[in-house]
Amino acid sequence: MRFTLSLFLLRMFIGPILRAHCEQDWSFPKDFRIGAASAAYQVEGGWNASGKGENNWDWFTHNKPWSIADQSNGDVACDSFHKYKEDVAILKDIGFNFYRFSISWSRIFPTGFSNKISKEGIQYYHDLIDELRSNGIEPFVTIYHWDHPQILEQMGGWVNELMVDSFTDFSRLVFQEFGPKVKYFATINEPSSFCSGGYGGTLKAPAWNLTLNAEYMCMHNVLKAHAKAYHMYDQEFRSTQNGKIGIVLPCQYYFGQDNNDTVTPDIAFQYDCGWMAHPIFSKVGDYPKIMRKRIDENSRIQGWPRSRLPTFTQKEVEYIRGTADYFGLNHYTSYIAVPVKRETGKVWENDRGYYQTVDPKWPVSASSWLKVVPEGFGNILRRITKEYGKLPIYVTENGYADHGSLNDIERIKYYYGYLKEMLVAINDGCNVKVYIAWSIIDNFEWQDGYKNRFGIVHVDFNDPGRKRTYKKSAKWYKDLLKSRKLLPVHNYTNNN
Ligand code: PNW
């Protein structure tokens, strides 16, 4: 009894002192800015409000509901179309510096084309931006986060080069209308997610499942569309609006099967990240050499008349190269890249020559693709810096999925681990200037519907009022933003 009591006292009093000494002071640099994110289709709802046109995700979820885990859709979602003031109040109360959100294309161009503009659609974004600014929160606008007018999808979507001009028209309107009040733009969110998931696979709209074919064509047009919007901003808007514009790329980290294999992780980096980043951020531009070589070779062996990986002209290579003021990085998880043996003259497996797996020891999340690997975050920041130089990196998304618990300690642990690795990477010389958490509120998680939740604020999707409730992680962020320091997880594990 005596022994237990003294042990208890020892833990009560000595523990915190010991911990305080062992824990480093993880402060954020002075000019570092922290925000939270969402995307139009995932939060807005109001799918046909105020004359909004039908988009590809409206069509996909209404016509192929079996594609979504809980057969749900974004018709109402978080109802942020009506409740945006509440969202802004939450952002302000937690203390975020940034709000990254996207513009619903078919809310602005209901017919899909730029000759008919919805005044009400535009007004919604003016109201949201004004509300943010009057509360001291910097708006960060993603022009395109996966939803486009369904008519454009019927015409082939991103596989049709027509999309390049359609996207440019949409971007021009966004700059004209919102540019005077918005200093941070991202053209397109995560091209590989919808090119591979939507045109190459079945996970995202339109689920064409044309693997290793349509996804390359999609990316080709995305890169052209991005570059065209960037040049337009440069030539027509930058001098008066003076903002920053870039693109948001998902780059995960690849470890080798063992420490001796440094080659396969490198190849995996080029396929996962370089496919989008090399044409824009490398000194020479164009697709990574390894992709060119392996896909050209596979296409030849398979009897295609030309490579399935399209080619840019030298003029196009130059036009796309350097079209970003920052590197927008979405990072969530890591993988292990395992090489696949190949005989001369045979095809490279998956065009890549490796497959990806995970370490069973990595902690899991509610999303099957998301394992918790904080050191991978530091590694990818250092890898991007090494590969593309010191351009500022904005972490535009990072977050953790569970099933919606308010007591979300695992999410706090995730954020603590990942942010700590980011601070180490900054210390190592990575030029990271912005960090944006995904997501401010629970929302429509694409093919996972409302089953998997990324919010630091809970949303009750059974309540017509879509009540918002802070999770523990929201309180953690509030304390972090006040102190501008990483706060130890153990302070939040008790019921405080
Ligand atoms: C992002 N991966 O998608 C999207 O930008 C968000 O809209 C989405 O809600 C969020 O992450 C969570 O899923 C990703 O496989 C999808 O590594 C897949 C991956 C990463 C990001």
Q: Which residue has the tokens 């399935």?
A: 308
Find the 367 Cα to ligand 1 centroid distance in Å: 10
Element (H, E) at 254: strand 253-256
Q: Across 351-450, where does the E strand assignment appear?
A: 354-357, 393-397, 432-438
DSSP letter (8 states) at residue 403:
S
Q: CA-CA distance, 199 to 73, in Å (whole number)?
A: 20
* 332 within 8 A of 370, measured Cβ to Cβ: yes
Our CA dihedral for 326, 331, 337, 340, rounded to 10 degrees, sits at -70
Tell me the mean pLDDT per 10 residues along the chain, length 496. 46 46 81 98 98 98 98 99 98 98 98 97 98 98 99 98 98 98 98 98 98 97 99 98 98 97 98 99 98 98 98 98 98 98 96 98 98 98 97 98 98 98 98 98 98 98 98 98 94 73
Residue 186, Cβ neighbours under 10 Å: how many?
25
Q: Which atom of ligand 1 is nearest to the CA of 438?
A: 10
Out of 44, 153, 397, 421, pick the active-site residue: 397
**Per-domain boundaries in the chain:** 34-486
Which residues are near ligand 1 (CB < 6 Å)? 39, 42, 189-190, 193, 250, 252, 330, 332-333, 369, 397, 438, 445, 454
Find the 399 Cα to ligand 1 centroid distance in Å: 9
SS (H, E, C) 434-464: EEEEECCECCCCHHHCCCCECCCEEECCCCC
Find the 444 Cα to ligand 1 centroid distance in Å: 12
Q: Which atom of ligand 1 is nearest to the CA of 248?
A: 5
pTM over 0.85: yes
Phi and psi, residue 101, nearest 5°: -140, 170
Find the 91 Cα to ligand 1 centroid distance in Å: 21
Q: Which residue has the tokens 């619903």?
A: 104
Catalytic, 421? Answer no
Question: Given this model, what pLDDT does residue 25 score?
Answer: 86
Question: Given this model, what pLDDT does residue 8 score?
Answer: 44
Find the 224 Cα to ligand 1 centroid distance in Å: 23
Question: Given this model, what pLDDT does residue 396 score?
Answer: 99
CA-nearest residue for atom 21, ligand 1, is: 250
Alpha helices (H) along 45-118: 56-63, 80-94, 105-108
Out of 190, 215, 410, 421, pick the active-site residue: 190
* 311 within 8 A of 319, measured Cβ to Cβ: no
Q: CA-CA distance, 200 to 444, in Å (whole number)?
A: 22
Q: CA-CA distance, 73 to 62, in Å (whole number)?
A: 7
Phi and psi, residue 140, nearest 5°: -125, 105
> What residues have CB less than 8 Å from 2, skipping those under 6 apart?
none
Catalytic, 397? Answer yes
Alpha helices (H) along 307-367: 314-320
- Class of the 34-486 domain? alpha beta
Q: Which atom of ligand 1 is nearest to the CA of 369?
A: 15
> What residues have CB less than 8 Å from 47, skipping those under 6 apart?
58, 73, 74, 75, 76
Give the amino acid at 47: W
Find the 331 Cα to ligand 1 centroid distance in Å: 8
Element (H, E) at 337: strand 334-339
* 220 within 8 A of 199, measured Cβ to Cβ: no
Question: Given this model, what pLDDT does residue 1 score?
Answer: 43
Pocket test for ligand 1, best of 330, 334, 372, 400 (most atoms within 8 A of CB): 330
Question: Given this model, what pLDDT does residue 268 score?
Answer: 98
Question: Given this model, what pLDDT does residue 495 score?
Answer: 58
Q: Estimate the share of the chain in helix, then strand, then coil, as percent rounded to the nearest 5.
A: 45, 15, 40
Q: Which atom of ligand 1 is nearest to the CA of 443?
A: 9
